[in-house]
Amino acid sequence: MNRKRRRALPLTEQRRRLILERLRVWGEVRTSELAGLFGVSAMTIRNDLNALSAAGALKRTHGGAVSNEPIAREPSYKDKEAQHSAEKARIGRAAAREVGEGAVIFVGNGTTTMQLVRQLPHRERLAVFTNALNHAGALLERPGVSVYVVGGYLRGVSYGMVGGLARRALEGVFFDAAFVGVNGVSLEHGFTLPSLEEAEVMAEVVRRSRRTFVLADHSKFGVVTHARVTGLDGVDAVITDRTPPAEFVRAFGELDVRLTVAEGGESEGEATWLEDTA
């Protein structure tokens, strides 16, 4: 009996993550629809919803549940900077090792990509494009770096330059590698951001890069926000601070997306590559 419970637990956790993922996209879920989707009883789904409600993850309604968080909600840059700061520093160190001599790279706006900027190794003839005003200032302090700023409308909440001007500034420009941050990583919906304008710019960057690295701490997995940048198969590598749930490891392996887990303390930041274990 105990063995059965231990086997069922991961299935329960996975189902609840998928329920939350669906809820973040649609804003509302119905018990009957979820029971059919997962092939379980309505009572099982009600237990799931009650548990998630008790954890503050959703609000129960008659016959289902609704999201308690707007899908386009975006914390301020200052608030995000204080969240998972040690983890983001490890991710930044691991990402910095991917920057080669003489490369032309793009670094997207965000608090995790800022850690990459701060930890860039000295490289000869390194050219860095960015759409982040604060990143550009920090890059000026890095020796040997040529800095190019992609202009546009400045979003105060993220310091990111977005809009038609930013997209046009990317025309005819290509990159050896792009390093982008996201707010959500979803099996079904891929990589997402709270801002449609930022997602459009990052999607254009991905299309213009030989390799794309997504920098995302563990809290981003199973989350869907307002606008899609690209699917899971649209990038080359994901760098995170903790091994994600098994279904993500499996999906990345099947899609040939390299998964790097930045391990160790703040001073070590060692990276481990994970292979598909399915």
Give the model confidence (pLDDT) of 101-157 as tens digits: 999 999 999 999 999 999 998 887 899 999 999 999 999 988 889 999 999 999 888
Length of the chain: 278
Average pLDDT of span 8-33? 81
The reported pLDDT for the residue numbered 266 is 42
pLDDT tens digits along 168-226: 999 999 999 999 999 999 998 999 999 999 999 999 999 999 999 999 999 899 888 88
The reported pLDDT for the residue numbered 276 is 43
d(CA 4, CA 27) in angstroms, rounded, equals 33
- Per-residue pLDDT for 250 more than 70? yes
The reported pLDDT for the residue numbered 136 is 95
Average pLDDT of span 225-250? 95
pTM of the model: 0.76
- Per-residue pLDDT for 53 more than 80? yes
